[in-house]
Amino acid sequence: MDIKVRLFATLRENRGKEVNLEMKETALPRDIIEKLDISEPEVAILLVNGRDGKLDQELSDGDVVSIFPPVGGG
Partner 1 sequence: MYGYRGKILRINLTDHSYKMEDLDHELALKYIGGRGLGSKFMADEVDPSVEPFDPANKVMIVTGPLTGTPTPAGGRYMVVTKSPLTGTIASSNSGGYWGSELKFAGYDMLILEGKSPKPVNLFIEDEKVEFRDASHLWGKIVSETTAKLAEEAPDKAKILCIGPAGEKLSKIAAVMNDINRAAGRSGVGAVVGSKNLKAIVVKGSSKPAIADSEKLKEVVKLSRGKLKDNGVTGQGLPTYGTAVLVNIINEGGVFPTNNFQKTYFEKAENISGEHLAENFLIKRESCFACPIACGRYAKADDIEGGGPEYETIWAFGAACGVDDMKAVIKANFWSNEMGLDTISAGVTVATAMELYQRGMIKDSDIEDGLSLKWGDANSMVEWTKKMGLREGLVGDKMAEGAYRLAEHFGMPEVAMTVKKQELPAYDPRGIKGQGLQYATSNRGGCHVRGYMISPEILGLPQKLDRFAIDGKAEWVKIFQDLTAYIDSTGLCLFTSFAIDAQGYADLTNAVCGTNFSDADILEAGDRIWNLERDYNLKAGIDPSQDTLPKRLLKDPIPEGPSKDHVTQLEDMLPKYYEIRGWSEDGIPKPETLEKLGV
The residues binding partner 1 (CB under 8 A) are 6, 8-10, 12, 17, 44-45, 47, 49-52, 66, 68-74
Q: Which is nearer to partner 1, 24 or 51 (CB)?
A: 51
| Nearest approach, Cβ of residue 24 and partner 1 (Å) | 25
Sign, Cα dihedral of 55, 34, 9, 3: negative
* 49: three-class secondary structure by DSSP: coil
Least separation in angstroms between CB 70 and partner 1:
2
Q: Do residues 1 and 62 touch, judged by C-beta distance below 8 A?
A: yes
